[in-house]
């Protein structure tokens, strides 16, 4: 058994280029995403104000002051050029009488982003608020006309607007009060942790998959046939492959922790042991999952075709590429629960960002443990039945 383990560890050098590429890609992508979406990033948008009214001016002011967008006022043609050149995330066109016309406010963009989705929700809220003011003003005018009271419509709307906004600010139905120290670095650190951990969890799966998949290569070059006539049992051979898969995963996990601290300035806090433990458990899940996937294919070529589809899909659903908090689709959030990425990420982020170890943490640990055992049983049984069929 020990001789077989030593042999597998020595043969890991054959995949050294793959391991280095995966480590490099995880660090590169973590740095790109962390810096792009960090706390110092301000989304820029082009704005075309065709309405030129008090209402449109107030929307522009709110986009800048309350919601933190960098707004550039320009003509329609200039805005289109800015969008085409990708100098802005999108162009906002406030049409004439936007609160009454069918065109309303238009958003011109090449593709949807997190910021453009946020912008759409903000503009929708602003228009709804304006419609409430207009509706209230019209109702007051109806009452005043019925009672033969003369009121100038524009003056009334201005008064209603002031009263409505003052009342909303002082008597909001729900208020969130919080205090955040060093807010910009805190936001940046939170995103830094997410993308450092997320990208590591994503790219480590490829290293594990092809390390465990070495079983298929042993079959192709008939190394497995020679091993089967040795004192080593079938389970010894599976254990050796799983051990080497977990070993490379743990190495990448340690690289993640060290690079996060020294390259990205992440403070792992007092729960560093828990982070390593959850990360190791996740690696165990992905190692047994790799065994299960390997049991479903016959050649390394088939594994190379199937594994990117499965691993990329699971990584995207599990939140490695973006925080799950920005996802609103219930089906996607439900599917995320079937990925180990989601449980490992949420537990690690809770411990590092919020210093939180609670019931959710242990639920995540339990789910990961169940997944590891389940995939191990499925993979081992599938390999067993495949060997019976081949013999």
* Pair 277, 348: CB distance under 8 Å: no
**Interstrand relation of 70-73 and 91-94 (parallel, antiparallel or unpaired):** unpaired
CA distance 191 to 184: 11
Q: Say whether domain 44-170 belongs to CATH 1.10.4160.
A: no
Q: Mean pLDDT, consecutive 10-residue segments, the chain of 391 residues? A: 59 73 81 57 84 84 82 92 89 85 84 75 82 80 79 74 66 53 44 82 87 70 52 66 83 85 77 89 92 85 87 91 80 92 90 80 94 91 73 55
Residue range(s) occupied by CATH 3.40.190 in the chain:
44-170
pLDDT at residue number 187? 40
Q: If you write DSSP's letter for every residue of 191-248 in order, what string do you get?
A: HHHHHHHHHHHHHHHHHHHHHHTHHHHHHHTTHHHHHHTSS--HHHHHHHHHHHHHHH
pLDDT at residue number 181? 45
pLDDT 10s digits, 113-132: 667 777 888 888 888 877 78
pLDDT at residue number 184? 39
CA distance 46 to 350: 37
Give the position of tokens 């629960």.
337
- Confidence (pTM): 0.62
Give the position of tokens 């689709």.
329
| Residues facing 7 on adjacent strands | none
């Amino acid at each position: 058994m020990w001789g077989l383990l030593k042999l597998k560890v020595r043969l890991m050098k054959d995949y050294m280029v793959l391991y280095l590429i995966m480590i490099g890609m995880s660090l590169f992508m973590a740095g790109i995403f962390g810096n792009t979406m960090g706390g110092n990033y301000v989304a820029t948008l082009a704005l075309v104000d065709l309405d030129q009214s008090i209402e449109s001016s107030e929307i522009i002011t709110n986009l800048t002051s309350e919601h933190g967008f960098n707004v550039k006022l320009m003509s329609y043609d200039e805005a289109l050029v800015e969008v085409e050149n990708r100098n802005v995330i999108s162009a906002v066109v406030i049409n004439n009488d936007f609160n009454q016309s069918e065109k309303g406010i238009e958003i011109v963009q090449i593709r949807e982003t997190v910021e453009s989705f946020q912008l759409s929700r903000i503009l929708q809220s602003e228009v709804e608020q304006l419609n409430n003011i207009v509706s209230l003003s019209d109702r007051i005018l109806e009452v005043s006309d019925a009672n033969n009271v003369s009121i100038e419509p524009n003056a009334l709307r201005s008064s209603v607007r002031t009263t409505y906004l003052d009342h909303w600010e002082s008597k909001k139905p729900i208020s969130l009060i919080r205090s955040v120290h060093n807010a910009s670095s805190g936001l940046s650190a939170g995103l830094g942790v997410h993308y450092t951990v997320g990208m590591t969890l994503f790219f480590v799966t490829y290293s594990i998959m092809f390390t465990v998949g070495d079983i298929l290569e042993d079959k192709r070059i008939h190394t497995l046939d020679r091993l089967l006539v040795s004192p080593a049992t079938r389970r010894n051979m599976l254990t050796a492959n799983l051990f080497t898969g977990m070993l490379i995963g743990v190495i990448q996990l340690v690289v993640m922790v060290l690079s996060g601290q020294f390259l990205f300035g992440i403070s792992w806090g007092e729960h560093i042991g828990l982070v390593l433990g959850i990360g190791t458990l996740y690696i165990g899940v992905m190692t047994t999952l790799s065994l299960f996937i390997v049991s479903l294919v016959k050649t390394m070529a088939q594994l190379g075709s199937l594994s990117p589809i499965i691993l990329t899909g699971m990584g995207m659903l599990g939140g490695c590429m973006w925080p799950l908090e920005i996802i609103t689709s219930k089906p996607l959030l439900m599917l995320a629960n079937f990925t180990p990425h989601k449980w490992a990420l949420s537990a690690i982020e809770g411990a590092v960002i919020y210093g939180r170890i609670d019931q959710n943490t242990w639920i995540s640990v339990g789910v990961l443990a169940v997944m590891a055992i389940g995939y191990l049983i499925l993979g081992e049984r599938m390999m067993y039945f495949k060997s019976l069929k081949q013999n």
